[in-house]
């Protein structure tokens, strides 16, 4: 799909800024995420791991919690960054969590601290056939 928007560098900077606060003693893989809400604000999150491994949460989930706690319910853009050889793709669970608050056209940029990035314009591209609340109407 052709890109009609370009990634906001301030959003990726916010994801990179928060990344060192990740709590990732088990994987050693610190992730930073930032969302631009429809209110214009930036919401940041980091992964928070747990000794009971499945209880850990992803950076995207933390950023979504910050946005919802601030009273904003719509995501306009997403940035995720980690120190990885390839750009970090949001996990399946996070794709579903992001979809809850995103229209289809949402720019999702994944980057590495090593300098590469990849941008995807559409939620449908990363979560085709998503289960959405309209399915329950």
Give the footprint of ligand THU on this chain (CB under 6 A): 24, 27, 29, 31, 47, 49, 56, 58-60, 80, 88, 90-91, 94
**Can you tell me the distance from the alpha carbon of 30 to that of 94, in angstroms, rounded to the nearest whole number?**
16
- Closest approach of ligand THU to the CB of residue 58, in Å: 3
**Can you tell me the distance from the alpha carbon of 3 to that of 65, in angstroms, rounded to the nearest whole number?**
28
91-95: which pairs have CB atoms within 8 A and are 24 or more residues apart?
91/58, 92/127, 93/58, 94/58, 94/60, 94/61, 95/123, 95/126, 95/127, 95/130
Q: Which is nearer to ligand THU, 2 or 85 (CB)?
A: 85
Q: Which is nearer to ligand THU, 13 or 24 (CB)?
A: 24
Instruction: Reply yes or no on whether 77 is catalytic.
Output: no
User: Which candidate in 17, 49, 60, 137 is catalytic?
Assistant: 60
- Closest approach of ligand THU to the CB of residue 3, in Å: 21
- Closest approach of ligand THU to the CB of residue 80, in Å: 5
Catalytic amino acids? 60
């Amino acid at each position: 799909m052709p890109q009609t928007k370009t990634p906001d560098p301030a959003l990726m900077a916010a994801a990179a800024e928060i990344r060192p606060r990740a709590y990732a003693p088990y994987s050693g893989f610190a992730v930073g995420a930032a969302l631009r809400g429809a209110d214009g604000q930036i919401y940041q999150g980091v992964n928070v791991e747990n000794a009971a491994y499945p209880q850990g949460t992803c950076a995207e989930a933390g950023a979504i919690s910050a946005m919802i706690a601030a009273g904003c319910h719509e995501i306009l853009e997403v940035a995720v960054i980690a120190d990885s050889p390839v750009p970090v793709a949001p996990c399946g669970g996070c794709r579903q969590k992001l979809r809850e608050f995103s229209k289809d056209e949402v720019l999702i940029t994944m980057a590495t601290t090593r300098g590469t990035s990849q941008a995807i314009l559409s939620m449908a591209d990363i979560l085709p056939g998503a289960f959405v609340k309209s399915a329950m109407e």
